[in-house]
Chains A and B, each alone.
Chain A
Amino acid sequence: SQTIHQWPATLVQPVGSPLSLECTVEGTSNPNLYWYRQAAGRGLQLLFYSVGIGQISSEVPQNLSASRPQDRQFILSSKKLLLSDSSFYLCAWSPMQGTYEQYFGPGTRLTVT
């Protein structure tokens, strides 16, 4: 069966520091991968998605970037965090071939101080 991992689970970082969040999927090949952000009490904002290695589509570039160095690995980065980056970050995967259902990872709760 398929499993999605995210780490770290929680993170406290100072303003201006860099960020790297990692997401990996097990038990599947060629998944579509997604990064979402969810502010407290709010909805899901799509940040990036990827349909293959090295292929990244950006929805909300701002000061964030994403990379997909391996088929089942998706990384969310920032060079300098802002206070407004405090949020719940969720990675999701979807099987290819147009099935569309997405499954979310456990999330990373980021607090920027």
Chain B
Amino acid sequence: GENVEQHPSTLSVQEGDSAVIKCTYSDSASNYFPWYKQELGKRPQLIIDIRSNVGEKKDQRIAVTLNKTAKHFSLHITETQPEDSAVYFCAATFTDKLIFGTGTRLQVFP
């Protein structure tokens, strides 16, 4: 069935440290994996994505890696800043839909 597991559910880091969030998916046909950032009371915003023909993608301080064999992908945030504090959701495609993980609440302490 369609399922995306995400962990940890909460993550606290010191400013300047790195943060890693991991997701696993169940459908081997999934071929697109976005990450969203949602600040309190706002809409989720797409911050980075990766397709199944790529193993890694980087955009400034954020990067995503994909292991198709193991069916897992990860979000890496380096040099974290207080403004990175938010809830992060991973997702994977299933036919015409995105299946979302349950979210990770990241807190960056100054």
Contacts and interface: CB of A to CB of B under 8 A. Distances in A.
Interface of A: 32, 34, 42-44, 46, 49, 51, 57, 59, 90, 100-107
A42 B103 CA distance: 8
B46 A101 contact: yes
B98 interface: yes
A103 B65 CA distance: 22
A101 B103 contact: no
B46 A103 contact: yes
A107 B93 contact: no
Q: In terms of DSSP, what is the predominant structure of the interface of chain B?
A: strand
Nearest to A91: B43
A57 B97 CA distance: 10
A90 B89 CA distance: 15
**Closest 6 A-B residue pairs measured CB to CB?**
A104-B43, A100-B32, A44-B100, A43-B102, A43-B103, A104-B44
B59 interface: no
19 contacts: A42-B103, A43-B101, A43-B103, A44-B44, A44-B100, A46-B99, A46-B100, A57-B96, A59-B97, A100-B32, A100-B34, A100-B93, A101-B46, A102-B98, A104-B44, A105-B43, A106-B43, A107-B42, A107-B43
Given A46-B98, A100-B98, A104-B45, 6 more contacts: A42-B102, A90-B43, A100-B34, A101-B46, A101-B49, A104-B44
A46 B36 CA distance: 15
Contacts of A100: 32, 34, 93, 98
Interface string B82-108: 000000010001001111111100000
Interface string B46-90: 100100000000000000000000000000000000000000010
B43 to A, nearest CB: 4
A90 B44 contact: yes
Nearest to A104: B43
